[in-house]
A and B are shown apart, each in its own frame.
Chain A
Amino acid sequence: MTEPGHSILSADDAPAALGQPGSSAGRGDDRRDTRPLGAGTGLGLGIGVLWLSLVVLLPLAAIVVASTDDGWSGFYDTVTGDAVAAALKLSIGMSLFVAFVNAIMGTLVAWVLVRDPFPGRRVLEVIIDVPFALPTIVAGLVLITLYGPMTPIGLELVGTRKAIFVALLFVTLPFVVRTVQPVLMELDREVEEAAASLGASRFTIFRRIVLPNLAPAIASGAGLCFARAVGEYGSVVLIAGNIPFQTEIASVRILTQIENDQTAAAAATATVLLAVGLLVIIALDLGRRLVGRRG
């Protein structure tokens, strides 16, 4: 079990591995496959961008604007205020931990799905996607049924940080599996065969060939995990107990602020969450561009 344990450590120096697989070929024919905007496409683009602005961009901008309604000092006081800082710290710390665990377990599950054809694999495939498709509040209900006051297994987690941990593991399970699986499937096995014929051990092959190729996918899956976990609400709210300073996550804190009509404070807390999420997707986007996959 030590092999996948190493995987996450190497995923951290992903940039070194990112340059390896292939050149950036395939992006060169961009100019041939595209044409400049015409009247019709220009109008379409205008409508699309307008819609995106109305639904996404302006509302998000409104949050950033509202976060300084009480001035910069108001923003600073809110974000460093005891309860808010504790909630943000809990959400970010817990999400990092969850992303780390699911990076390892997700890679392991993906490996089993791709390289270990056992009967019932199709069923496992379907189960992996359940957390994606399940409404978050239903996930919360599912977890409180198992770990709540009426727990059939004698393990009550309500009101503890373990409960948050389990809920976040649950909802982010598919991310790493689904990003690593296709890469593992496409991995050219002839390279591994060559290494084996030259006498490389199984562990060496995994560490030197499989892992570097998977590292970008693992990193991007873990990034998605983190981004999802840090803002999660529905699956956590029932089971966490939401005790300030102990089990109150950032999104629960924001909702309390909204309900107490502390709009500026809610916006300030939300701005921090937005910034964290934005950093993650910028990092993912840069990584994706370096690898030259998908675009």
Chain B
Amino acid sequence: MADAGADAAVKHPRRQRRLGLEPSRPTRYGLRFVALLYVGLLVLLPLGTVLWRTFENGVGPVWEAINQPDVWHAFRLTALVAILSVIINTIFGVGMALLLVRTRFPGRQALDFLLDLPLSVSPIVVGLALILVYGKNGWFGGALGDAGIQVIFATPGMVLATVFVSLPLVLREVMPVLREVGIEQEQAAQSLGASALQRFRRITLPTIKWAVAYGLVLSLARSLGEFGAVKVVSGNLLNRTQTATLVVEQKYQDFEQPAAYAIAFVLVFVAIIAIVIISIIRPKEDR
């Protein structure tokens, strides 16, 4: 009895199986087998191989490979860029979600549509786009350069690239929640004399907090791992504009495989923590 463990779920399917709703047992096991095989071969097997390669020679060499000044520099830079991007996208996402759901203005649907654009743009194209505007010969690059601000091949450009690729993630989590709760509570609060700030802090924020948290973790994972766009705008300068993902590629191509695996392991580890946090948050959001 494979499904004997699931308590409440058991009665329901059994009743339906009698009605002929559930596929026969062989079909069900077959589908389950195919699903597990597909995911196992596609995701689990490669991931396992990487872990095995990383720790082939124990933990010592892994730590040694990570404990290098250039690697630490890359981690610090990655964290800085990711945190700045997440802060920017959270403020933008919550503000924009409120505007799109609670107000009406001409062009609202068009704006709503444009906000999805970043997710379907190739990272390399993102990098190129930013260079064309903020690069030395770009639209604003000259003026910014005269003012002593370097965007491309420097941290601001990397933040812009990261903001671009994760732009709608918080927004798209918050919008459906706002739409669903409606405005009755806020209207009630308003009629009782609550100010806009009080209404936001006491009513809106508590309702969207899990959606914000979910979007925030998604953005953080995306930001920490951005590679293509950052590669184009950063110039990939050692100890200056190299993020963790760029170091992984460089170490691999320089035949320093152990170092590449060690840094990749850290990134895998962070990614998995992010997913676990997400899977804990998600049910709460549904409630």
Nearest residue, chain B, Cβ from A129 = B275
**For the complex, is B20 an interface residue (Cβ under 8 Å from A)?**
yes
* A228 CA / B165 CA spacing, docked (Å): 12
B83 at the interface (CB under 8 A from A): no
A135 vs B138: C-alpha distance when bound (angstroms)? 29
CB pair B227 A44 closer than 8 Å: no
Kindly count the residue-residue contacts between A and B in the assembled complex, taking CB atoms under 8 Å apart: 299
Contact with A along B193-206 (1 / 0, CB 8 A): 00010000000000
> Per-residue 0/1 for B134-164: is the Cβ within 8 Å of any A Cβ (1 yes, 0 no)?
1000110000000000000000000010011
Q: Report the bound CA distance from A32 to B101 in whole Å.
A: 11
| Contact yes or no, B271 A135, CB < 8 A | yes
Set of chain A residues within 8 Å of B227, measured between Cβ atoms? 135-137, 233-234
Contact size range, B: 35 or more
Nearest residue (CB) in A for B249 is A137
| Complex contacts, A260 vs chain B, CB 8 Å | none
Q: Decide if the interface of chain A is mainly helix, strand, loop or mixed.
A: helix
- B contact residues around A233 at 8 Å (CB): 122-124, 227-228
- Chain B residues with Cβ under 8 A from A136's Cβ? 123, 225, 227-228, 245
Report whether B129 and A196 are in contact in the complex, using a CB–CB cutoff of 8 Å. no
Q: Pick the 3 closest A-B CB pairs, nearest first.
A: A231-B122, A135-B225, A59-B129
7 A-B Cβ contacts within 8 A? A34-B103, A48-B99, A108-B31, A126-B276, A136-B123, A202-B20, A267-B128
Task: Give residues in A with beta carbon < 8 Å to B.
Answer: 1, 29-37, 40-41, 44-45, 48-49, 51-52, 55-60, 62-63, 65-66, 105, 108-109, 111-113, 115-119, 122, 124-138, 141-146, 152-153, 166, 169-170, 173, 189, 192-193, 196-197, 201-202, 205, 227-228, 230-234, 237-238, 250-252, 254-255, 258, 263, 266-267, 270, 273-274, 277-278, 280-282, 285, 294-295
Q: Which residues of B contact A (CB under 8 A)?
A: 2-3, 5-6, 9-10, 13, 16, 19-24, 27-28, 30-32, 34-36, 38-39, 42-47, 49-50, 52-53, 92, 95-96, 99, 101-105, 111-134, 138-139, 160, 163-164, 167, 175-176, 179, 182-183, 196, 221, 224-228, 231-232, 244-246, 248-249, 252, 260-261, 264, 267-268, 271-272, 274-276, 278-279
